[in-house]
Structure 1
Amino acid sequence: MFTTSVDGVPVFFAQGPPPLSAGLVFGVGRRDETFVGGGITHLVEHLVMRAVGRTAIEVNASVDLTSTEFTASGPADHVVAFLHAVCGALGNLPVAELAVEADVLRAEGGTVAPPAVALLLGELYGSRGAGLAASREPGVRALGPEDVRGWVRRFFTRGNAALWLTGPVPEGLRLPLPEGPAPERAAQPRLAPATPAWGQIPVEERVTLGAEVPPHPALTATMGVLRTRVEDELRHRRGVAYSIELDRPAVDASTRVAVLTTDVRPGHEAFAAQLIWRELHRLADLGPEPAEIERERAEVTAFLDDPRADLEEACATAHATVTGIPVIAAAELRRNAAELSGDAVREVAGALLASAVLLVPADTDPRLPGLVRLPEWSADVVTGRVFPRKRLRGVPKEARLVVGDEGATLVLDEDRLITVRWREAVGLVRQGPDECLLVGPDGFSLPLSAEDWRNGAEALALALAAVPEELQVVDDDALDDGLLLLRAPAHRVREAVAHERYGARLVANGEWTAVLPEGGRTAESVADDLSAVLGRGTTGLVLRRSHVDVGYVLLRGAKEVDRHGWGASPGNPQLLARATGRPDAHTAHLLGVVGTTDEILQHVVLALGLPLEVPALMAGAEPTRAERVEGQGIAGAFRASVRGDFVGPEGSGGPVDRWMRLTHTRPGWYRAANACGALLAAAVLYALVTVPDLLDGGFGEIAVWVLAGSGLVNCLWETRPPRRPGPAGPTVEDRPVEEPRPTPTR
């Protein structure tokens, strides 16, 4: 292996067969991220490869626990061009494509370690550093241009890069990376569970043994002997497994995690765990056989004698240079193999035994004495305000939520509880309206749903106020709120909103009213709430927009009757026509429109007569004209209705609306008619009092008394002069609306 440098970047190469292969390595991986910023390294890698584009040679890129690598193989000039393009892309990321690549990452669903290995790291390190391998990446879509540019400036620099080659440095190679030193990394936090231990993980038909140990010359040989013994028993003798694998993820310069994992036929998981534990005990107690030592030596010698070993060493040295995790050179490997002894293997096996963690599938008990159970629940409860459960919500009977100054605790019963303290929280993930997930450093997650607890909205507000804003993120899988439009005049929607406990802003044009609710509620949930007052036959339209598509959900009351996505799933134009009062031909043309998302939205606004502000509202803009309505609850809304607060403008609405306007404006003829009604009711009451036996008594007479009495009171009330209106501008329905210009289709 040879060493040189290009533009200040260390280069390691060994002579290998053509074509030329190269790997540009950066010392940044999953361990360097935070929980809420998970996936940012992978996102940078995707943006770089997008900028590089298609090439005529074989290229690839990857992110693992500790590093990011861009590789290429082909003619030297093509490899040089690829490496130069990577460096250029890092200085000019195509951030306009962030949303697309974020969705690609979600579709890819990749991890930096196999599931069982990742979960083992989570048990050892929680939700920080190497333990993030077990954590999902909750908010990739929330990462913005400045986030990825800042990540590049911090980690993708000349001082944090190295290059490996399978041949001499090709002519013309340049690595124009930005200046910057290698980043400083904090020490890896550890949970340090009591060991040896066992636990259950959601990985079926697999048993995994792992242990955190310091580097040792005999570690590889010890794991090799153990793997051979387990394979002989589980696969070759009993036929209950197929692939027994080893892994040694490096956490930092002084720590290795030795892992043995095997697949298992269903029903044999407990037996496989017992056999692995037995063989590790035997190796720690009795050591290896001489033949096993010789086999391990022979494997090391065969590997080092292979000409490709020099190439492997060049690649490993490049990774070690940027990650800070040392690699064992070829000469040292030969010396360790020659000096390998049974005592050294037995010593390492004993260390593995003392710090072992054995993981089995859920509902499996290995029934092994001497192993403690990994913590399943938190150990203590915070003090604070107690929120009792709501009934009929599926919450256990004894459950309660405690929110205090230090943190929050979910108590399911006296033995099962989850506690997360505010100062230790690694993230608060908003999963939906009034629903969050509070994540602690130990990997425990506390669900917070306002609907599960009495006064749950107050509990959620306390959590949102206690966790720093930079640790709060919207879940990528949370339902897009969407924009709710109701085919109802603003005064009707105003009344419906007033009946709720939350407020909203309304933007209307007489036919449609856009509802912008407070509190992060989804459009469908708001439609469900408001339809109780508006009527279950009210037409609703929920518009949603992504970076490539526009779609709608058509509602009747709160019930979905159809949905459509331009360029995706087609809807039914007849249903849309009947619900909106448009001709079938118009809606059929609308659903067939092709164009950009902006063009499609303009067509929707024109064809359905929606408020002109709809495109801007869907882009997140603040409405320039909007009416804010306070939620008053049922009692407050009733009082407001009596005052006439929900009367629509003259000439709008049906018989009920016209009657409500009369009770509010009370013109002279209306008051005169009520005065006559009051006289008539008074005459009936007088006759009932003065004329003996006018009625036969019983229920009929009681009904006449009630009707006449209530009629008298109501008619007298309606003879009052109307309230003098105060100075006010036009309502949201009365303001002039500029006619939109049609946008040509593509």
Structure 2
Amino acid sequence: MPGWNREVNQTTIDGVPVIWAEAPGPIRATLMFRVGRVDERLPWSGITHLVEHLALFQLGPRQTYEFNGAVTSNRTMFYATGQPADIVAFMAHVTAALSGLPFDRLDSEKSVLLAEASSRPVSPADLMFNLRFGARGNGLYRYKEFGLYHLTQPWVAAWAARGFSRENAVLWMSAPPPADLHLALPAGQRMPEVPAIPIELRLPAYVKAPVGGAGVSMLAPRSTPLAMASGIASDRLLKRLRYDKGIAYSVGGGYFPIDSMQAHVSLWTDAQPGHAATVLNDTVQSVYAMGTAGPSAEELAEQAGNFERSLERDEAVLAWLDRTAVRILNGEPAQHPDELRAEMQAVTPATARDAMAQAVRSAIYVGPGDVPSPPAIPAYVAPNPPPVQGEPHPHVQSRLWRHPPVLLVGGDGVTLTINADDKITVYFESCEAMLQYGDGGILLVGADGAELPVNPDEWLGGPLVVQQIVQRLPATLALPLPGETTVTAIKVPPPKARGGLAIAGIPIDRWIGLFVFVAVAVALLGFAIYGSRTSLGSTPPLVSLVVWAALGYRLLRRFRF
């Protein structure tokens, strides 16, 4: 921006780091904490969002200044825009509220957040994170905020004390801090980083999903060459799809540092009806070309020039302040814009190519259900751990299958075998949550995202089976959902359609087979009785009866009588 010397000032107020640089207009201020969704676990997900809502509630819907709050993957922010007195008042309220949340509003704010969630669909980014990270960390975005169903006051208060301390905070402002600004936060500790650990997958891979466009998710080491290569790949894809072909409107995603070592790179594109396959294939070609041929020197120079020009915009100082605050929260050294510019100017086509090549090897491509896999890209295969060894529980209608489904419950987990090729296993040690429904059923969610429903109506001794599983899991994993019912895991096959006559719903060929079996059995019985009196025959009659009975049992099972 004109007048900004590209320097960021830093001070400390009440033990909280404060950074600032002057910008035109009203003061913008953001108090952020190093706590977010990745710090939660599935049973109490949503707890950070709940704290954020409670902290802002007493400000009401109207103030003379703008304010709000937000929770991202690894931080929570409270921000306001106004005059110096407004900022002082806002920060005083937020810090006081975080030290003493209005718990009389606990149930009401839970309801508000559940209503908010009901209108928020699962985004492509949520889906891609879940496919890569399962039911932990960034993968949590695909799930409901289950903590809102059962969290109690002590639990929420403890989370607020842990995540919202002065050691875990930083404030940035677009003006020097007012002399009467105070940040009365309790003492605590910096939240440790949660490393982004992907589940074990064979990649690259392609996933069909209920989406309207197509995209790609990649994971690779953080670097300036990767960030620049990603931006150029996005620019190329937008030009091809929107300006050359006219079949898409925008390309979203980008380069996102996901922890101190790794970055998530994504491209997501909408698509006109009937053009999703073209959009997907162009996406594949865009990232593949970047990882094989790399960008041109001119494209890299343009990226560096765009960054230099962005520093002249009025909002540049705000973006840089936010970036600097995030680095401080993450324990990274602050960076001067000139340092980043020098890094960008040092990137070569080869270093950008190599960075993207590493990312492409981890690619997960996503497209609509009617779009086949791109050439040379295999289908996504979810993790498939070996089945447990345990007690088998048959399906209540197992006679309908030649190889019926079975539920195995062992000392270390549960395996649901639907058929020879479709098995779901959740080990107790990697179980993230156990949803308990009003009909007595449960759903186990594994760390890899596997979901294993146990509906007591589907298995012989179902209620006892559920009880055995519940007893083997910690109570902290239980999520009571009394208003919901367990899904049906097994699709029962309809009776096979057969031509010809049927008696009592049984095809005539089965009746004929039964008649022949009975006739031979009666003849053998007579032979056994007569032969035992006259000593006819060389084979003992009772042995014949036993062999026929065994064969008959198999035949009856085969014909499902």
TM-score bin, normalised by smaller chain: 0.7 to 0.9
Given the superposition, is the C-alpha separation of residues 340 and 395 from structure 1 closer, same or farther in structure 2, using an over 3 Å criterion? Answer: farther
Q: Per the alignment, in what secondary structure is the counterpart of residue 426 of structure 1? A: strand
1:98-124 Cα offsets, whole Å, 9 max, x none, are 111111111111899971112211122
Q: Take 1:34 and 1:111, find their aligned partners in 2: how far apart are those partners?
A: 22
Give the letter for the 1:274 counterpart: N
TM-score, scaled relative to structure 1 = 0.61
Query: Which residue is equivalent to 1:19?
Result: 26
Query: Which residue is equivalent to 1:118?
Result: 126
Q: How many residues align?
A: 478
Given the superposition, is the C-alpha separation of residues 280 and 247 from structure 1 closer, same or farther in structure 2, using an over 3 Å criterion? Answer: closer
Native 8 Å contact 2:214 2:279 kept in 1: yes
Q: Take 1:276 and 1:128, find their aligned partners in 2: how far apart are those partners?
A: 28
Q: In structure 2, list runs of 5 or more residues that go unmatched.
A: 1-7, 487-561
Structure 2 matches for 1:287-298, cutoff 5 A? 287-298=294-305
Query: Which residue is equivalent to 1:417?
Result: 423
Q: Which shows bigger deviation, 356-365 or 141-150?
A: 356-365
Structure 2 matches for 1:652-667, cutoff 5 A? none
2:474 is aligned with 1:464: no
Q: Take 1:429 and 1:92, find their aligned partners in 2: how far apart are those partners?
A: 31
Kindly, what percent of the aligned residue pairs are identical?
29
- Equivalent of 2:413 in 399, 407, 410: 407
Query: Which residue is equivalent to 1:475?
Result: 481
Given the superposition, is the C-alpha separation of residues 366 and 441 from structure 1 closer, same or farther in structure 2, using an over 3 Å criterion? Answer: same
Structure 2 matches for 1:424-573, cutoff 5 A? 424-475=430-481, 478=484
Give the letter for the 2:116 counterpart: E
Native 8 Å contact 2:217 2:264 kept in 1: yes
Q: Take 1:27 and 1:88, find their aligned partners in 2: how far apart are those partners?
A: 18
Q: Take 1:325 and 1:126, find their aligned partners in 2: how far apart are those partners?
A: 27
Say which one has the larger Rg: 1
Q: Take 2:388 and 2:415, find their aligned partners in 1: how far apart are those partners?
A: 6
2:71 is aligned with 1:63: yes
Given the superposition, is the C-alpha separation of residues 275 and 395 from structure 1 closer, same or farther in structure 2, using an over 3 Å criterion? Answer: farther
Query: Which residue is equivalent to 1:304?
Result: 311
- Equivalent of 2:82 in 48, 61, 74: 74
Shift of 1:233: 1.6
Q: Per the alignment, in what secondary structure is the counterpart of residue 73 of structure 1? A: strand
Q: Which shows bigger deviation, 392-401 or 10-19?
A: 392-401
Q: Take 2:136 and 2:119, find their aligned partners in 1: how far apart are those partners?
A: 15
Given the superposition, is the C-alpha separation of residues 343 and 117 from structure 1 closer, same or farther in structure 2, using an over 3 Å criterion? Answer: same
2:325 is aligned with 1:318: yes
Give the letter for the 2:386 counterpart: D
Native 8 Å contact 1:197 1:356 kept in 2: yes
Given the superposition, is the C-alpha separation of residues 13 and 129 from structure 1 closer, same or farther in structure 2, using an over 3 Å criterion? Answer: same
Native 8 Å contact 2:129 2:139 kept in 1: yes
1:71-116 Cα offsets, whole Å, 9 max, x none, are 0001110110010000110111111111111111111118999711
Q: Per the alignment, in what secondary structure is the counterpart of residue 10 of structure 1? A: strand
Q: Take 2:215 and 2:119, find their aligned partners in 1: how far apart are those partners?
A: 18
Structure 2 matches for 1:327-338, cutoff 5 A? 328-338=335-345
Q: Which shows bigger deviation, 400-409 or 28-37?
A: 400-409
Q: Take 1:133 and 1:100, find their aligned partners in 2: how far apart are those partners?
A: 23
Given the superposition, is the C-alpha separation of residues 155 and 270 from structure 1 closer, same or farther in structure 2, using an over 3 Å criterion? Answer: same
Given the superposition, is the C-alpha separation of residues 393 and 302 from structure 1 closer, same or farther in structure 2, using an over 3 Å criterion? Answer: farther
Given the superposition, is the C-alpha separation of residues 374 and 89 from structure 1 closer, same or farther in structure 2, using an over 3 Å criterion? Answer: same
Query: Which residue is equivalent to 1:538?
Result: none
Given the superposition, is the C-alpha separation of residues 138 and 447 from structure 1 closer, same or farther in structure 2, using an over 3 Å criterion? Answer: same
Given the superposition, is the C-alpha separation of residues 396 and 460 from structure 1 closer, same or farther in structure 2, using an over 3 Å criterion? Answer: farther
Native 8 Å contact 2:92 2:182 kept in 1: yes
1:641-676 Cα offsets, whole Å, 9 max, x none, are xxxxxxxxxxxxxxxxxxxxxxxxxxxxxxxxxxxx
1:159-216 Cα offsets, whole Å, 9 max, x none, are 00000000001120000000111123454433132222222233x2121211111111
Query: Which residue is equivalent to 1:286?
Result: 293
Q: Take 2:260 and 2:277, find their aligned partners in 1: how far apart are those partners?
A: 35
2:256 is aligned with 1:249: yes
Structure 2 matches for 1:3-152, cutoff 5 A? 3-53=10-60, 54-109=62-117, 115-152=123-160
Structure 2 matches for 1:221-236, cutoff 5 A? 221-236=228-243
Q: Per the alignment, in what secondary structure is the counterpart of residue 49 of structure 1? A: helix
Native 8 Å contact 1:395 1:452 kept in 2: no
Coordinate RMSD, CA, aligned:
2.4
Q: In structure 1, list runs of 5 or more residues that go unmatched.
A: 480-519, 521-746
Q: Which shows bigger deviation, 207-216 or 61-70?
A: 207-216
Q: Take 1:393 and 1:102, find their aligned partners in 2: how far apart are those partners?
A: 46
Q: Which shows bigger deviation, 299-308 or 459-468?
A: 299-308
Q: Per the alignment, in what secondary structure is the counterpart of residue 331 of structure 1? A: helix
Q: Take 1:3 and 1:30, find their aligned partners in 2: how far apart are those partners?
A: 28
Query: Which residue is equivalent to 2:490?
Result: none
Q: Take 1:442 and 1:93, find their aligned partners in 2: how far apart are those partners?
A: 35
Give the letter for the 2:81 counterpart: S
Shift of 1:464: 0.7
Give the letter for the 1:157 counterpart: S
TM-score, scaled relative to structure 2 = 0.81
Given the superposition, is the C-alpha separation of residues 325 and 265 from structure 1 closer, same or farther in structure 2, using an over 3 Å criterion? Answer: farther
2:220 is aligned with 1:213: yes
Query: Which residue is equivalent to 1:648?
Result: none
Native 8 Å contact 1:64 1:112 kept in 2: no
Shift of 1:143: 0.5
Query: Which residue is equivalent to 2:269?
Result: 262
Q: Take 2:243 and 2:386, find their aligned partners in 1: how far apart are those partners?
A: 48
Query: Which residue is equivalent to 1:184?
Result: 192
Q: Per the alignment, in what secondary structure is the counterpart of residue 359 of structure 2? A: helix
Native 8 Å contact 2:396 2:460 kept in 1: yes
Q: Take 1:88 and 1:18, find their aligned partners in 2: how far apart are those partners?
A: 28
Give the letter for the 1:472 counterpart: A
Shift of 1:222: 0.6
Q: Per the alignment, in what secondary structure is the counterpart of residue 258 of structure 2? A: strand
Query: Which residue is equivalent to 1:196?
Result: 204
Native 8 Å contact 2:95 2:183 kept in 1: yes
